Amino acid sequence: MKKQDITFGIHAVGAVLQHSPERMIEMWVLQGRDDQRLAPLLAMAAEYGVSVQYASRKALDEKADGSQHQGIVAKVKAAKVLGENELDALLTQVKADEGKTPFLLILDGVTDPHNLGACLRNADAAGVQGVIVPKDNSVGLTPVVSKVACGAAEIVPLFQVTNLARTMRRLQEQGVWIIGAAGEADCELYQADLTGPIAVAMGSEDKGLRRLSRESCDSLVSIPMAGSVSSLNVSVATGVCLFEAVRQRL
């Protein structure tokens, strides 16, 4: 039997209905909730023949494991786990698409689902074509990640790889320049050239990039900090780095 997941929140459930309706099994909606934000989701559910049941807030709280669900919870078939082969296929596709250059995000050891969700949302907004994480020491696509990502988890492919350093070498062999964010850097972010085929590599919340990942980068950049705090939250730092690349690439 295919693994099943729970997803919740208006954006997350809406994104599954919009992008992968075949994954939707059933939906539960808060009793008495009838508003404009929910109406399009109920219409899509009816169109795809998805069963909708009305439930109490207590029942929805239990299904969402106490998380904020905005009055809507869905049971879905788990998304297919993407790996190295699918990443190779994506790069081939991007290179074949005229006018497109590889633009990827590598997250080395991000274990907080709120941070991964926010990073996926940043990646979607910046036009990143894929996000790469290691299978171990990293959070996968949990319901909380999907909720925080506000639908981006359905749009931006997430690749889970067995050996991150090996995957980084494979990217370099295919002409992708890997720029890592680190305190001890070759230059500041705003001096780096982010216009070509690139992958931006960000480290974990507490330790940053692991030694092997750091050594696998082509160059290291730092974000200039004016205040007394020594580092930024990983999702904020990711947004800063990705949107500097967007600015340069426009």
Q: Where in the sequence of the chain do the CATH 3.40.1280.10 domains occur?
A: 84-249
Q: Is 49 annotated as a binding residue?
A: no
| CATH number assigned to the domain with residue range 4-77, chosen from the 4 options 1.20.930.40, 3.40.50.2300, 1.10.274.10, 3.30.1330.30 | 3.30.1330.30
Of 165, 97, 150, which is closest to residue 119 (Cα–Cα)? 150
pLDDT value of residue 3: 62
List the pLDDT tens digit at each of the 250 positions of the chain: 346 789 999 999 999 999 999 999 999 999 988 788 899 999 999 999 999 999 999 999 999 988 889 999 999 998 888 999 999 999 999 999 878 899 999 999 999 999 999 999 999 999 999 999 999 989 888 888 888 888 888 899 999 999 999 999 999 999 999 999 998 888 999 999 999 999 999 998 788 999 999 999 999 999 998 877 777 899 999 999 999 999 999 9
Q: Is 223 annotated as a binding residue?
A: yes
Residue 119 vs residues 37, 110, 140, 213, 240: alpha-carbon distances, Å: 25, 10, 13, 19, 11
Q: What is the CATH number of domain 84-249?
A: 3.40.1280.10
CB 18 within 8 A of CB 27: no
Q: Is 232 annotated as a binding residue?
A: yes
